Amino acid sequence: MEQNILHKASSRFSADHGWLKSAQTFSFHGHYDPERLQFGALRVLNDDTVSGGKGFGKHPHDNMEIISIPLGGTLEHQDSMGNSALIRPGEIQVMSAGTGIYHTEYNKDENEPVTFLQIWLYPNQLNVTPRYDQQNFGQKDKHNKLLQILSPDQDDEGVWIYQNAWFHIGEFDKDFKTEYQLKDNTNDVYVFVIDGEVEVNGQLLNKRDGYGIRKASVVNLQAVSKAKILVMEVPEKW
Does the pLDDT of residue 194 top 90, yes or no? yes
The CATH classification number of 7-136 equals 2.60.120.10
- The pLDDT of 147-169, averaged and rounded, is 97
Instruction: Note the pTM of the prediction, 2 decimals.
Output: 0.97
Helix (H) or strand (E) holding 76: strand 75-79
The reported pLDDT for the residue numbered 130 is 98
How would residue 1 be classed by pLDDT, with cut points 50, 70 and 90? very low
- The pLDDT of 202-229, averaged and rounded, is 97
% residues pLDDT > 90 (the chain): 95
Cβ–Cβ under 8 Å, residues 52 and 97: no
How would residue 140 be classed by pLDDT, with cut points 50, 70 and 90? confident
Cβ–Cβ under 8 Å, residues 73 and 114: yes
The reported pLDDT for the residue numbered 2 is 54
**From the centroid of its chain, how far is CA 92?**
9
Q: Long-range CB contacts (< 8 A, 24+ apart) of 2-6?
A: 2/201, 2/213, 2/214, 2/215, 2/216, 3/214, 3/215, 4/201, 4/203, 4/211, 4/212, 4/213, 4/214, 5/39, 5/211, 5/212, 5/214, 6/203, 6/205, 6/209, 6/210, 6/211, 6/212
Write down the domain spans for the chain: 7-136, 147-235
Question: What distance in Å separates the CA atoms of residue 88 and residue 237, rounded to the nearest whole number?
Answer: 32
215 vs 231, higher pLDDT:
231
pLDDT tens track for 29-77: 889 999 999 999 999 999 999 999 999 999 999 999 999 999 999 999 9
Architecture of the domain spanning 147-235? Sandwich (2.60)
Say yes or no: do domains 7-136 and 147-235 share a fold: yes
2 vs 225, higher pLDDT:
225
Does the pLDDT of residue 131 top 80, yes or no? yes
Question: What distance in Å separates the CA atoms of residue 196 and residue 9, rounded to the nearest whole number?
Answer: 12
What is the residue-averaged pLDDT of the chain?
96
The reported pLDDT for the residue numbered 139 is 82
DSSP 11: G
pLDDT tens track for 175-192: 999 999 999 999 999 999
pLDDT tens track for 75-128: 999 999 999 999 999 999 999 999 999 999 999 999 999 999 999 999 999 999
If we measure between CA atoms, which residue out of 149, 156, 159 comes closest to residue 232? 149
Question: What distance in Å separates the CA atoms of residue 36 and residue 23, rounded to the nearest whole number?
Answer: 14
